[in-house]
Amino acid sequence: MPGATHLATKVELTISCENLMDMDVFSKSDPLCALYINTSGSQWYEFGRTEMILNCLNPKFAKKFVLEYYFEMVQKLKFSVYDIDNNTYDLGDDDFLGEMECTLGQIVSSRQITRPLLLKNNRHAGRGTITVSAEEITDNRVACFEVSARRLDKKFLWWSDPFLEFFKQTETGWQLAHRTEVVNNNLNPVWKPFRIPLRSLCGGEVERPIKIDCYDYRYSGSHDLIGSLRTSLSDMQQGTHISPVEFECINPKKLARKRGYKNSGVICIRHCQVLTEYTFLDYIMGGCQLNFTIAIDFTGSNGDPSSPRSLHYINPDGYNEYLAAIWAVGAVIQDYDSNKMFPAFGFGAQIPPTWQVYSNLCDNMMHNALKLLCYQTHLQVSHEFPINFNPSNPFCAGIEGVVAAYQKCLPEVKLYGPTNFAPIINHAAHFARQALRQNTASQYYVLLMITDGVITDMDQTAAAIVEASRLPMSIIIVGVGNADFSAMEFLDSDDKLLRSPWGDVAARDIVQFVPFRTFQGNRMALAQSVLAELPDQVVSFFNSYNLKPPNKSSQFSPS
């Protein structure tokens, strides 16, 4: 069981904006909201981001943030809104639409606050405002849905691209609870199964009104309403695959002006079941172990480790960015592994005895051409080697053991290349696959990859991640140095699920990427950022397989 037992109240934050500045010439802004948490003084770390909404000046973000609320602490938050203009992870090259600072206590005490968005010079960002609502998480029940529709109206020539939005009724109006994916060119769509927390859908009240809007998606952001309906959770629970509960989708404008208007289609609830969704703490306290594997980039682009300009250079204080990342993430996650034995691997280097033997041999050759030929012929690059050089037992005792093995390994290897991720991802996935066959929630695997740059085997890496997304496994990538990390941002598919070159789509988002340079040596902020998504990834995986905590006691029993 982890050492940390100080529990806090969890709150869920919902964000919307109005009257954002329009920064695009031929369309509207494409807003995204990033949440930052203050650690100390003027230092902030990014906690997470909402989805990006195309061409919208009044966005209602579907993604919500779950934070731990401590009554006795001042928890400073900053909500920054950007107009996304490109596919890079860095928000610095996107148009800034304004920000709002407050404390979590201010939001919790008011339940909802609306503030003007401010520019960096504290001037108002036009008429833009941001609204943040808070709700305490005391109900872990979720409603599991399977929904389809039939005979929807054609909104463009002979087709529509429908999606649904579910809304909860609140004191201040309708609040977005969930948005489905878009089903293209289909008047009889079947949406993917989805879950909505009861607190978001109806506040846990099965008779509270719920609004469902059906839209035809438009790239311009001006989505065309197909129709709406009002229902309740208790009504939707009557639906089954054999006998779905059906609701007429009514378009108010057509109803008002068309004589004999019947409906704009039918929404079919084929399955609606309420389940208790276990929390991260339920799984950890119930006996789930987090198995931590470390992979270190030993490619030549890091520079000669003996040079102070190298990313692998260890300064007199015993510091480099690789060590800082290992300490920051490992210090947190080691508390959740009972034996604290961590396998640690390197990739992209020539390893002993291979490179040393042939280096000595070639150095004895008189002719440079023969020397070069010898290197090219005999030297082998390893993309998956234990840094303790013990393939039968690659485990290191604690984070201290990982650090010691790294320091001892560094002068023994020759940094080379290319930068291949797939072998080490597949290695970790092998063990996660074995754990999945046990059909229990007892093991979850976390792979920390620390790298300095561009991935060489991108296609194979994407395919490996897509395959691993179906396993009890998460991947954390920390980028060190000042290289272009756009490839890592592609793998960290927050907006849409990763797709392999062969068309396979990831079951879930399992990659979290952060550039080390963002945190300027702040270990605490780095650890908080890279581990922010891990609890939800653990919970979503085990809940999707309906796996209970292994040592489930009566306190975990579903209601």
Domain at 101, CATH number = 2.60.40.150
Phi-psi region of 55 (alpha: psi -120 to 50; beta: other; left: phi over 0): left
Residue 3 within a domain: no
Q: How confident is the model at residue 346 (pLDDT cuts 50, 70, 90)?
A: very high
Measured in residues, the chain has a length of 559
Using CA atoms, how far apart are residues 433 and 222, in angstroms rounded to an integer?
Answer: 44
Residue 443 CB contacts under 8 Å (≥ 6 apart), including other chains: 288, 289, 291, 432, 435, 472
Are residue 294 and residue 361 in the same domain, yes or no? no
Predicted model pTM: 0.71
Using CA atoms, how far apart are residues 558 and 273, in angstroms rounded to an integer?
Answer: 13
Closest CA to 247 of 267, 269, 230, 227: 267
Closest CA to 129 of 286, 288, 16: 16
Bridge partners, residue 13, by sequence: 65, 134
Amino acid at residue number 192: K
pLDDT value at 20 more than 80:
yes
Residue 1 CB contacts under 8 Å (≥ 6 apart), including other chains: 284, 285
Are residue 269 and residue 328 in the same domain, yes or no? no
Contact call for residues 446 and 471 (beta carbons, < 8 A):
no
pLDDT of residue 45: 85
pLDDT digits 0-9 by tens, 166-222: 999 988 899 999 999 999 999 999 999 999 999 999 999 999 999 999 999 998 888
Q: 370 is written with which tokens? A: 């023969």
Are residue 291 and residue 236 in the same domain, yes or no? no
Are residue 203 and residue 301 in the same domain, yes or no? no
Q: How confident is the model at residue 544 (pLDDT cuts 50, 70, 90)?
A: confident
Residue 556 within a domain: no
Are residue 82 and residue 146 in the same domain, yes or no? no
pLDDT digits 0-9 by tens, 120-139: 999 999 999 999 999 888 88
Phi, then psi, of 33 in degrees rounded to 5: -115, 125
Are residue 119 and residue 18 in the same domain, yes or no? yes
Residue 553 within a domain: no
Q: How confident is the model at residue 495 (pLDDT cuts 50, 70, 90)?
A: low
Q: Is 527 helix (H, G, I), strand (E, B) or coil?
A: helix
DSSP state of 188: S
Using CA atoms, how far apart are residues 480 and 306, in angstroms rounded to an integer?
Answer: 18
Are residue 319 and residue 467 in the same domain, yes or no? yes
Instruction: Please say which residue of 233, 256, 276 terminates a domain.
Output: 276
pLDDT value at 559 more than 50:
no
pLDDT of residue 278: 87
Residue 334 within a domain: yes
Contact call for residues 223 and 217 (beta carbons, < 8 A):
yes
Q: 524 is written with which tokens? A: 């605490």
DSSP state of 135: E
pLDDT of residue 297: 95
Are residue 225 and residue 266 in the same domain, yes or no? yes
The residue among 361 and 338 whose pLDDT is bigger is 338
pLDDT value at 324 more than 80:
yes
From residue 503, alpha-carbon distances to 136, 305, 541, 556 in Å are: 40, 40, 22, 39
Q: 407 is written with which tokens? A: 């320091």
From residue 491, alpha-carbon distances to 100, 470, 511 in Å are: 30, 16, 7
- DSSP state letters, 360-380: HHHHT-S-HHHHHHHHHHH--
Q: What is the mean pLDDT of residues 315-321?
A: 89
Q: What is the mean pLDDT of residues 308-323?
A: 91
pLDDT of residue 261: 93
Sign of the C-alpha dihedral, residues 9, 10, 16, 21?
positive
Are residue 160 and residue 179 in the same domain, yes or no? yes
Amino acid at residue number 484: D
pLDDT value at 46 more than 60:
yes
Q: Is 58 helix (H, G, I), strand (E, B) or coil?
A: coil
Contact call for residues 294 and 326 (beta carbons, < 8 A):
yes
Q: 489 is written with which tokens? A: 């941002």
Sign of the C-alpha dihedral, residues 430, 509, 132, 144?
negative
Using CA atoms, how far apart are residues 99 and 80, in angstroms rounded to an integer?
Answer: 4
Q: How many Cα atoms within 13 Å fall on the side-chain side of residue 136?
A: 10
pLDDT of residue 248: 96
- Cis bond before residue 418 (omega within 30° of 0): yes
Are residue 165 and residue 16 in the same domain, yes or no? no
pLDDT value at 373 more than 90:
no
Residue 431 CB contacts under 8 Å (≥ 6 apart), including other chains: 291, 445
Are residue 403 and residue 468 in the same domain, yes or no? yes
Amino acid at residue number 340: K
Domain that holds residue 369: 350-382
Instruction: Please say which residue of 255, 276, 297 terminates a domain.
Output: 276
Q: What is the mean pLDDT of residues 83-90?
A: 85
Using CA atoms, how far apart are residues 521 and 358, in angstroms rounded to an integer?
Answer: 39
Q: How confident is the model at residue 273 (pLDDT cuts 50, 70, 90)?
A: very high
Count other C-beta atoms under 10 Å from residue 376's C-beta: 8
Using CA atoms, how far apart are residues 137 and 11, in angstroms rounded to an integer?
Answer: 5
Instruction: Please say which residue of 118, 136, 154 terminates a domain.
Output: 136
Phi, then psi, of 252 in degrees rounded to 5: -55, -40
Count other C-beta atoms under 10 Å from residue 130's C-beta: 26
